[in-house]
Structure 1
Amino acid sequence: MPGFSRLSTTGDAPTGRTGEPAAPHPVDERLPPLRMAATGLQHVAAMYAGVVAPPLIVGAAIGLSAKDLTFLTGACLFTAGLATFLQTLGVWKIGCRLPFVNGVTFGGVAPMLAVVQSTKDKHDALPVIFGAVIVAGLLGYIAAPYFSRMVRFFPPVVTGTVITLIGVSLLPVAFEWMQGPDAGAKDYGSLGNLALAGVTLVIILVLRRFTGGFVKQIAVLLGMVAGTLVAIPFGATDFGPVVHADVVGFPTPFHFGAPQFGVAPIVSMCIVMLVCLTESTADMLALGEIVERPADERTIAAGLRADTLGSALSPLFNGFMCSAFAQNIGLVAMTRIRSRFVVAVGGGFLVLMGLCPMAASLIAVVPRPVLGGAGVVLFGSVAASGVQTLTKANLSKDNNVMIVAVSLAVGLIPIAAPDFYHAFPDRARIVLDSGISTGCVMAVLLNLLFHHTGKRARVETVAAAMEPAAEIPATEIPAPRTQVSAPGGAT
Structure 2
Amino acid sequence: MTKTKSAASARPEDEKLGIAPSFAYGLQHVLTMYGGIIAPPLVMGQAGGLSQPEIGMLVACALFVGGLATILQTLGLPFFGSKLPLVQGVSFSGIATMIAIMTEGGLPAVMGAVIASSVIGLLLAPAFAMIVRFFPPVVTGTVIVSIGLSLLPVAAGWAMGGDTTADDYGSVANLGLAAFTLLLIVLLTKFGTPTISRLSILIALVLGTVFAAVVGAADFSTVAEGPIVALPTPFAFGMPTFNVAAILSMLIVVLVTFTETTADLLAVSEVVGTKVDSKRIAAGLRADMLSSAVSPIFNSFTQSAFAQNVGLVAITKVKSRYVVAAGGVILVVLGILPVLGRVVAAIPTPVLGGVGIVLFGSVAASGIATLAKVDYRDSLNLIIIAVALGFGLLPLVVPTVYAAFPAWFSVIFQSSISSTTMMALLLNIFFHHVLKRRRAVDAEAVSVPAFREIPHELLAILKEGDHYVGGALKDAEDNEIAVRSDDSR
Q: Does the pair score TM above 0.5?
A: yes
Tell me if 1:43 matches 2:33.
yes
Residue matched to 1:482:
none
Alignment map for 1:322-337 (pairs within 5 Å): 322-324=302-304, 329=307
**Deviations, residues 373-426 of structure 1 (Å, cap 9, x unaligned):** 122222222222222222221112211211121122122222222221222222
Aligned length: 426
Tell me the amino acid that sits aligned with residue 276 of structure 1: V
Tell me if 1:282 matches 2:259.
yes
Query: In structure 1, what is the Cα distance between the partners aligned to 2:404 and 2:389?
Result: 22
Alpha-carbon spacing, 1:412–1:202, altered in 2? closer, same or farther (3 Å): same
Tell me if 1:12 matches 2:35.
no
Contact 1:330 1:379 in 2 (8 A): no
Alpha-carbon spacing, 1:250–1:59, altered in 2? closer, same or farther (3 Å): farther
Query: In structure 2, what is the Cα distance between the partners aligned to 1:349 and 1:238?
Result: 27
Identity of aligned residues (%): 38
Alignment map for 1:23-422 (pairs within 5 Å): 33-34=23-24, 36-54=26-44, 74-75=60-61, 77-96=63-82, 97=84, 99-103=86-90, 105-106=94-95, 107-111=97-101, 114-115=104-105, 134-253=115-234, 265-285=242-262, 287=264, 293=270, 297-298=278-279, 300-317=281-298, 319-324=299-304, 329=307, 347-422=328-403
- Offset at residue 182 of structure 1 (A): 1.6
Query: In structure 2, what is the Cα distance between the partners aligned to 1:56 and 1:455?
Result: 47
**Deviations, residues 168-222 of structure 1 (Å, cap 9, x unaligned):** 2222222222112322211122111111111111111112212232122212211
Query: In structure 2, what is the Cα distance between the partners aligned to 1:168 and 1:290?
Result: 24
**Deviations, residues 248-272 of structure 1 (Å, cap 9, x unaligned):** 2123456678x68x7xx25345324
Tell me the amino acid that sits aligned with residue 183 of structure 2: V
Query: In structure 2, what is the Cα distance between the partners aligned to 1:113 and 1:168?
Result: 20
TM-score, structure 1 length as denominator? 0.73
Alpha-carbon spacing, 1:225–1:266, altered in 2? closer, same or farther (3 Å): same
Contact 1:159 1:285 in 2 (8 A): no
- Offset at residue 350 of structure 1 (A): 4.3
Contact 1:45 1:363 in 2 (8 A): no
Alpha-carbon spacing, 1:138–1:23, altered in 2? closer, same or farther (3 Å): closer
**Deviations, residues 409-444 of structure 1 (Å, cap 9, x unaligned):** 122222222221222222222221222222122122
Query: In structure 1, what is the Cα distance between the partners aligned to 2:86 and 2:21?
Result: 13
Alpha-carbon spacing, 1:336–1:167, altered in 2? closer, same or farther (3 Å): farther
- Offset at residue 284 of structure 1 (A): 2.5
Alpha-carbon spacing, 1:24–1:390, altered in 2? closer, same or farther (3 Å): farther
Tell me the amino acid that sits aligned with residue 51 of structure 1: P
Tell me the amino acid that sits aligned with residue 82 of structure 1: L
Alpha-carbon spacing, 1:457–1:138, altered in 2? closer, same or farther (3 Å): same
Query: In structure 2, what is the Cα distance between the partners aligned to 1:311 and 1:407?
Result: 27
Report SS of the residue matched to 1:242.
coil
Contact 2:119 2:289 in 1 (8 A): yes
Q: Which has the larger radius of gyration?
A: 2
**Deviations, residues 224-247 of structure 1 (Å, cap 9, x unaligned):** 211112111221212123222311
Alpha-carbon spacing, 1:167–1:293, altered in 2? closer, same or farther (3 Å): farther
Contact 1:130 1:315 in 2 (8 A): yes
- Offset at residue 285 of structure 1 (A): 4.8
Contact 1:54 1:109 in 2 (8 A): yes
- Offset at residue 24 of structure 1 (A): 8.9
Query: In structure 1, what is the Cα distance between the partners aligned to 2:139 and 2:284?
Result: 19
Query: In structure 1, what is the Cα distance between the partners aligned to 2:354 and 2:68?
Result: 29
Query: In structure 2, what is the Cα distance between the partners aligned to 1:51 and 1:74?
Result: 9
Alpha-carbon spacing, 1:404–1:296, altered in 2? closer, same or farther (3 Å): farther
Query: In structure 2, what is the Cα distance between the partners aligned to 1:377 and 1:422?
Result: 32
Alpha-carbon spacing, 1:171–1:349, altered in 2? closer, same or farther (3 Å): farther
Query: In structure 2, what is the Cα distance between the partners aligned to 1:236 and 1:103?
Result: 29
- Offset at residue 56 of structure 1 (A): 6.8
Query: In structure 1, what is the Cα distance between the partners aligned to 2:254 and 2:191?
Result: 40
Tell me the amino acid that sits aligned with residue 258 of structure 2: T
Report SS of the residue matched to 1:452.
helix
Query: In structure 1, what is the Cα distance between the partners aligned to 2:205 and 2:237?
Result: 35
Contact 1:44 1:350 in 2 (8 A): no
**Deviations, residues 351-371 of structure 1 (Å, cap 9, x unaligned):** 334322112222223222222
Query: Which of residues 430, 450, 453 is equivalent to 1:449?
Result: 430
Tell me the amino acid that sits aligned with residue 9 of structure 2: D
Query: In structure 2, what is the Cα distance between the partners aligned to 1:336 and 1:186?
Result: 47
Query: In structure 1, what is the Cα distance between the partners aligned to 2:309 and 2:178?
Result: 18
- Offset at residue 152 of structure 1 (A): 0.9
Alpha-carbon spacing, 1:59–1:177, altered in 2? closer, same or farther (3 Å): closer
In structure 1, list runs of 5 or more residues that go unmatched.
Answer: 1-7, 15-21, 117-124, 464-491
**Deviations, residues 139-194 of structure 1 (Å, cap 9, x unaligned):** 33223223444311112222222222222222222222211232221112211111
Alpha-carbon spacing, 1:108–1:389, altered in 2? closer, same or farther (3 Å): closer
Report SS of the residue matched to 1:230.
helix
In structure 2, list runs of 5 or more residues that go unmatched.
Answer: 445-489
Alpha-carbon spacing, 1:254–1:199, altered in 2? closer, same or farther (3 Å): closer
Tell me the amino acid that sits aligned with residue 40 of structure 1: V
Report SS of the residue matched to 1:102.
strand
**Alignment RMSD:** 4.0
Alpha-carbon spacing, 1:182–1:352, altered in 2? closer, same or farther (3 Å): farther
Query: In structure 2, what is the Cα distance between the partners aligned to 1:364 and 1:246?
Result: 15
Contact 1:52 1:76 in 2 (8 A): no
Contact 2:146 2:392 in 1 (8 A): yes
TM-score, structure 2 length as denominator? 0.73
